[in-house]
Structure 1
Amino acid sequence: MWKLRCSSPGDRASVPGQDISSLNGHAGRHIWEHNSAHLSPEDIAVIDRLRENFELNRHTQKHSSDALMRLQYDSLRDARGRAIKTAPPPRCAYDPTSGTADSPVSRDIVKQALRAGIDFYQGLQDDDGHWPGDYGGPMFLMPGLIIALCVMGKLDHVLSEAHKVEIRRYLRNHQNEDGGFGLHIEGHSTMFGTVLSYVAMRLLGMSPNTSNLVDRENSLVDALSWIRARGGAVNVPSWGKFYLCLLGVYEWDGLNPVPPECWLLPYTFNPLHPGRFWCHCRMVYLPMSYLYGMRATAQSTEITELLKKELYIDDYDCIDWNTTRNSCAEEDLYYPHPWIQDLIWSGLSKVELSLLKTSAGMWLRGIACKLAMEHIHYEDENTRYIDIGPVNKVLNMLCCWFEDPFGCANRKHMQRLHDYLWLAEDGMKMQGYNGSQLWDCAFAVQAITASGLATEYTDCLIAAHRYLDVSQVQADCPGELTRWHRHISKGAWPFSTRDHGWPISDCSSEGLKAALELEGLGTALAGPPIPIDRLEDCVNVVLSYQNMETGGWATYENTRSFPWVEIMNPAETFGDIMIDYSYVECSSASLQALSKFRTRYPTSPHKDRIEKALTAGRNFLLSIQRADGSWYGSWAICFTYGTWFGIKGLLATGSTYETCSSLRKAVRFLLSKQMACGGWGESYLSSQKKKYIQLEGNEPHVVNTAWAMLALVASGQAKYDPAPLHRAARALMRMQCGNGDWPQQSIMGVFNRNCMITYANYRNIFPLWALGDYATLVLGVK
């Protein structure tokens, strides 16, 4: 069995691989270890039931409840002083049997629901102050890791048999009824998800011809049938083609060029220089360019020879690979290549072929690959070998292995792989980051302080404050930042851990807001405040993120190129990946943080810059509001999320319901989507199709309901018509579980328009925050 182990600051004993560097004693790091010694037979029986229940219902409830982590922390409640002391109120206490649901809920009843919710959620907090949680969802991440480890010959070295069992469980559990696998756990079957999942299962020892029912051979048979019915793996999109090339079961001639020479081009006046791309895009295509330039390919093995026969309709040696470069299954084609892009790739491939036949071309290729490796090593060292995300983590590791199979970089990379692995009742998955620790912690602080019950939860808030404190980035990356295409980072907060370290505008802003909330409570309730000079550093970095052209904020950096560059997006499965766009969420979070800081510190040296930023940022929000009053949310589902941020951003810059027609329009939009039960329920399809789509079955979603309620309470809705808020509060309380938890429903996170991702802690944070605001701002609970 398994145990989640978190590393508290200074706790070296809990860190596998003693040479892994850390800036703060590995605060926030959590890894799963196989260890059955701490489990009783009763515990094992409970875990087995959780797994069986997920498997039985996997086609209707595709999202795990993160039950294994929660079970572990539940068992420690009494010993940690985090026992659940309050039960949620009975339904009869807030749902009237007579009268109307439009009436206010009793203040004491809301307090009871809040205490029950915080009692439960504080028990999931780790000792170092962060809240662990599942951040999985995409289905292509784990197969990429397995392929890389096979290429390196390290699969058995990194993954034990216990790991493999859980990974196989995860893959089988998320196979769709038609035999295919989606881009993410709730998505329709795609060639990308199905081919990579099939390959991963084969590399993990499963066989379509086995009689071993434990490995349920039908999973492979059904997946292979799905692939072959759609023309075979020649129709996998470009990222899938790339992974297959690495494994040696697809030919490099069938891949559109990823030339490392692009990094040699001049940066100035060149909108297509890779350094101008969105950091997640360039940090994936950087190692891809090295591996492509080296034609890095695994040695042929028995399994790769079998895959060549299984994955294709035609005989492998007879395939015309040049004709397959732009082949892509219809199910995967979210972003079709414009014709001009295909023309450019075709011309580039011919030029490359000619150049590489010359000594000058080979010399240039060597210089380019060397430069690419310099950038890869810089990224590795500055993230303590975590890297910005799981795709470039795996590809960077492969680059280091091909450069020097015995180098120390390989050892450091492998020791950090476990940072990305997460276990739940559905099996072991690879997360979309090394966690969402800082992000969740900052939101949780704001939710608990909003409840008005901070005096009852000082231990929880002091621990959260410690995590905020030790997670702030306190220095820029070394060297000349422009050479490495890096933004300043001193004073920022990252999404996960300080060791990861990439600064982000909205994470910095939410971290600053949380720090100011805790500072306002005083040292007795929240611990020592973060020094003012460090808060000023954060304000400086948030201000630096603002795009002067639009007035909005992007994610990790300023926008460095133009939207038309998107026509060169080579990834058929993702949208808007080429540049770092300005977003409503990042802009609103930044505006809220700057406004809050200005109120607390009106004489700050940054006050003039803040005033200008607020004006420009407000204009940006108004410029991107949709005609129906909503904002499109790019990082969660979708219009309820974006409109919550849009409303809060307008309020932070001086809007009121009475004076701002845009605010009133946004309120009307949210009210128009409220369901008869009082809640909201939005499907992930809203993100893909860019229009509001209700969840199937018209079921309310606890997270959507909380976001809409937060926006409406903040807008002053209670002054004009509080009935929708009373109905929403009842909907949230109705969905609360008997232990104070809320249920895990459909997936709520998204990136690049088309791929969904898990935020396991949202189901606890946002209903607490919404009920807290309802209690304090609508009912007046003190």
Structure 2
Amino acid sequence: MGSPGGRCGSSSPAPARRRSAPRWRTSAATSPATASRAGRATTSSCACRNYARQNKAVTTLAVNKIEDCSEITEEVVLTVLRGVLNQYSSLQSEDGHWPGGYCGISFILPLMIFALHVTGSINDVLSSEHIREICRYIYNMQNEDGGWGTSTLGPSSMFGSCVNYATLRLLGEVPDEQNEGLSKGRAWILSHGTATAAPQWAKIYLSVIGVYEWKGNNPIIPELWMLPHFLPIHPGNFWGFCRMVYMPMSYIYAKRIVGPITPTIMAMREELYSVPYNKIDWDDARRSCCKVDMIYPPSWLQKVTMASLHKFVEPVFNMWPMNKIRQRALTNLMDHIHYEDENSNYIGLCPINKVLNMICCWVENPKCSGFKRHLPRINDYLWIAEDGMTSKVYSGCQSWEMAFIVQAFCSTGLTHEYGETVRKAYDFLKNSQVIQNCPNYKSFYRERSKGSWTLSNGENSWSIPDTTAECLKALLLLSKIASNDIGVPIKEERLYDAVDVLLAYTNKDGTLSSIETKRTTSWLEFLNPSESFRNIIVDEPHPECTSSLIQALVSFKEIYPGYRHKEIEKIIKSGALFIEKTQRKDGSWYGSWAVCFTYGTFFAIKGLVAAGRTYQNSSSIRNACNFLLSKQQTTGGWGENYLGCQVEEYVDNGRPHVVNTCLAMLGLLYAGQFELDPLPLYRAAKELINMQLDTGEFPQQEIVGNFNSSLFFNYPNYRNLYPIWALGEFRRRLLAKMG
């Protein structure tokens, strides 16, 4: 099975550089020319089977296809559930979580290689085997047209193509007549506008390694951080991911950092452009962006602002005496960067800000302890599977997925049969809770974290509010359903801490955002300079996050009715109104964190039901059920295409998808629609049961994670946890009622 990079990246001899065509591609049967998009996942059934074999738990089921809904009995569903639960339990790690390849974004791994190249650390972190597997992965993710996408699921883009091409070159690959992959990659880049048409982030990355000029970039001025914090435009009020990425970016931009100019860099200066490098009009390049990458076009106001900053403001800050202000701004930024590094244990909020911070530390002092502590933590992000080695999009999603895995197990009514599995899951949740605040957190624009959970584990200290809500809910559920199997229960004080942090993260209108409270006005999104991503400036509230908040608070007050009762009741009421207000005319909700409308609608229904809405008393729930039923395919399943995230309309994928089918089933089950007409759920259950593999698991299909409406990645455990959950609820709510 694919496994984390762990600590396998210790110092090693310099890897041999390849000077011929790559010979480590997968076979033609699975090459980019013939592989389906479904194959581009980093945790497959084959990999999981290998891991289960290590645990001596490989099983083969006699899977019988269901021909008619009348064949679906409680015994059939129990057989399916036990099959997947047996296999799935064998995949649990010793610390209780389920490992998986949380991967799919194509520019993260290149940025890591760029950072290692600039700091001269490639051979300190990566062995020749690492390099071999990284190159194999990049070649395997290459599209048929020769380019690479920004995500592995998506068309070729200038962003993905430039940075992946450059990565292969930095790792020793040469575009000779034998290397078809590099030749096709270069051809795609040249035929779509050359690297001058790369979007903002790609231009910055290419500038750092020296194959693009800094004067071809729009300014990212560090002086913004010197403004009073009460101003809406202060970066401390921006979305956490945005400010933590643009903070080191502004330092790197102001310093005009460029890595060593090697023969490979000089060669790439010729390969990535259609005119000689010294003839490029960099001011024209600054305003250029490939059409495929232009997801968020700049407004006329932004164009004027950027031109003014480029022509007037930036030159002034580089002249005496204004350069004194620039230096103060950079010193201030490094204080923030060091704070982030120390409090995230050099993991960072995400891999992007982690490696950018690493570059900044190296520029400040190549021998400093901060830079040295960054290097081994590169391996926290590396992941290897059948298709090669890549980077995860985060240090993991262990806590996030664990919360849903627990709820899925509990839905089956079979937790007593999997006591050891449940106990280890419970221990993981207890051990992953953040138990203290970061020191002086308000001065660094952070919020309290004591009592929260991160997306991965407690080590990076970045609280994620909806993860906290789901983990709290999972702990409360286990305390009621599996109290004999969980071992030493968590202390009540830590549950109170979780509620306290949730209430602290709740916006004034009772909603929940993704990382922190909403700190600034929505109109500031016009400042978004990325060109490639939407909704990155303001941490807007989301129906899914608000739903998780409502569910957790309702579950908590059932057991602890006296704790902060009035505040909790007020939030539940206002949060439910927000969910109703954000419902679309067709009855759906847009899902911001997965693909897409089945996801958003499932969460919205569950939140409304927790707040007391029912199919009978809520038109929102009835309309949501009508929406889901209208999208059910003739086979009985549901399947959404990722393009729906971009166009913000439901796009049918033409075939059923395990996760979409389960989300729709769960939405209908929690809404109580089955009491009116159970047939749609029987049809869905038939389709889902027939998807089960002979290992007991469910197939890896197109990845379903979504970020900023434009980045797509894999939640590795969704394909198994959601079928467990959906069939568990189906058995408990419908079959038990009917039988």
TM bracket (short chain): over 0.9
State whether structure 2 residue 51 is matched by structure 1 residue 77: no
Distance in 2, Cα, partners of 1:49 & 1:576: 37
Distance in 1, Cα, partners of 2:454 & 2:659: 23
State whether structure 2 residue 479 is matched by structure 1 residue 505: no
The aligned residue for residue 191 of structure 1 is: 158
Contact 2:412 2:732 in 1 (8 A): yes
Aligned CA-pair RMSD: 1.9
State whether structure 2 residue 64 is matched by structure 1 residue 90: yes
Deviations 1:556-604 (A, max 9, x none): 1000011111110001110000010101110001110101111122122
Deviation at 1:77, TM superposition (A): 2.6
Structure 1's 703 and 51: CA in aligned 2 closer, same or farther, altered over 3 A?
A: farther
Deviation at 1:231, TM superposition (A): 2.2
Consecutive aligned runs of 4 or more in structure 1 exceeding 4 Å deviation: 14-18, 48-53
Q: Classify the secondary structure of the residue corresponding to 2:389.
A: strand
Deviations 1:246-280 (A, max 9, x none): 11111111100011111111111x11110011000
The aligned residue for residue 148 of structure 1 is: 115
Distance in 1, Cα, partners of 2:566 & 2:444: 31
Structure 1's 499 and 15: CA in aligned 2 closer, same or farther, altered over 3 A?
A: farther
Distance in 2, Cα, partners of 1:307 & 1:16: 27
Structure 1's 71 and 165: CA in aligned 2 closer, same or farther, altered over 3 A?
A: farther
State whether structure 2 residue 85 is matched by structure 1 residue 111: no
1:326-725 paired onto structure 2 within 5 Å: 326-479=287-440, 481-548=441-508, 550-604=509-563, 606-695=564-653, 698-725=654-681
**Mean CA deviation greater in 516-525 or 379-388:** 516-525
Q: Classify the secondary structure of the residue corresponding to 2:321.
A: helix
**Mean CA deviation greater in 515-524 or 679-688:** 515-524
AA aligned to 1:603 is G
Q: Classify the secondary structure of the residue corresponding to 1:428.
A: strand
Give the counterpart of 2:702 among 743, 746, 749: 746
Contact 1:63 1:744 in 2 (8 A): no
AA aligned to 1:727 is R
Deviation at 1:521, TM superposition (A): 2.9
Contact 2:41 2:703 in 1 (8 A): no
Distance in 1, Cα, partners of 2:489 & 2:82: 25
State whether structure 2 residue 187 is matched by structure 1 residue 225: yes
AA aligned to 2:306 is W
The aligned residue for residue 18 of structure 2 is: none
Deviations 1:63-110 (A, max 9, x none): 2351475244212233xxx564x836522xx433xxxx3x47210110
Q: Classify the secondary structure of the residue corresponding to 1:442.
A: helix
Distance in 1, Cα, partners of 2:172 & 2:659: 39
Q: Classify the secondary structure of the residue corresponding to 1:655.
A: coil
Deviations 1:519-538 (A, max 9, x none): 11354212222111111111
AA aligned to 2:154 is G
AA aligned to 2:61 is A
Contact 1:55 1:426 in 2 (8 A): no
Structure 1's 51 and 524: CA in aligned 2 closer, same or farther, altered over 3 A?
A: farther
Give the counterpart of 1:276 among 234, 237, 240: 237
The aligned residue for residue 63 of structure 1 is: 40
Structure 1's 50 and 601: CA in aligned 2 closer, same or farther, altered over 3 A?
A: farther
Unaligned runs of 5+ in 1: 8-13, 19-47, 212-216
Give the counterpart of 2:226 among 264, 274, 289: 264
Distance in 2, Cα, partners of 1:188 & 1:5: 27
Contact 2:2 2:100 in 1 (8 A): no
The aligned residue for residue 25 of structure 1 is: none
Taking every aligned residue pair, what percent have the same amino acid on both sides? 42
Deviations 1:377-396 (A, max 9, x none): 11111111000001101101
Distance in 1, Cα, partners of 2:634 & 2:686: 12
The count of corresponding residues between Structure 1 and Structure 2 is 724
Distance in 1, Cα, partners of 2:672 & 2:2: 46
Structure 1's 60 and 626: CA in aligned 2 closer, same or farther, altered over 3 A?
A: closer
Structure 1's 199 and 555: CA in aligned 2 closer, same or farther, altered over 3 A?
A: same
AA aligned to 1:511 is C
The aligned residue for residue 26 of structure 1 is: none
Structure 1's 412 and 578: CA in aligned 2 closer, same or farther, altered over 3 A?
A: same
Contact 2:206 2:212 in 1 (8 A): yes
Contact 1:87 1:113 in 2 (8 A): no
Distance in 2, Cα, partners of 1:224 & 1:163: 24
1:305-344 paired onto structure 2 within 5 Å: 305-344=266-305
Structure 1's 65 and 137: CA in aligned 2 closer, same or farther, altered over 3 A?
A: closer
Distance in 1, Cα, partners of 2:570 & 2:73: 43
Deviation at 1:158, TM superposition (A): 1.2
Structure 1's 160 and 722: CA in aligned 2 closer, same or farther, altered over 3 A?
A: same
1:100-249 paired onto structure 2 within 5 Å: 101=69, 103=70, 105-209=72-176, 211=178, 217-249=179-211
Deviation at 1:138, TM superposition (A): 0.7
Unaligned runs of 5+ in 2: 12-23
Distance in 2, Cα, partners of 1:735 & 1:689: 29
AA aligned to 2:423 is I
Contact 2:199 2:293 in 1 (8 A): yes
Q: Classify the secondary structure of the residue corresponding to 2:421.
A: helix
When normalised by structure 2's length, the TM-score is 0.95
Distance in 1, Cα, partners of 2:10 & 2:383: 19
Deviation at 1:49, TM superposition (A): 12
The aligned residue for residue 31 of structure 1 is: none
Contact 1:136 1:758 in 2 (8 A): yes
Deviations 1:412-469 (A, max 9, x none): 1111001101111111111110111111111111101111101100000000001000
Structure 1's 761 and 54: CA in aligned 2 closer, same or farther, altered over 3 A?
A: farther
Structure 1's 184 and 15: CA in aligned 2 closer, same or farther, altered over 3 A?
A: closer
Contact 1:54 1:425 in 2 (8 A): no
When normalised by structure 1's length, the TM-score is 0.90
Contact 1:180 1:190 in 2 (8 A): yes
The aligned residue for residue 295 of structure 1 is: 256
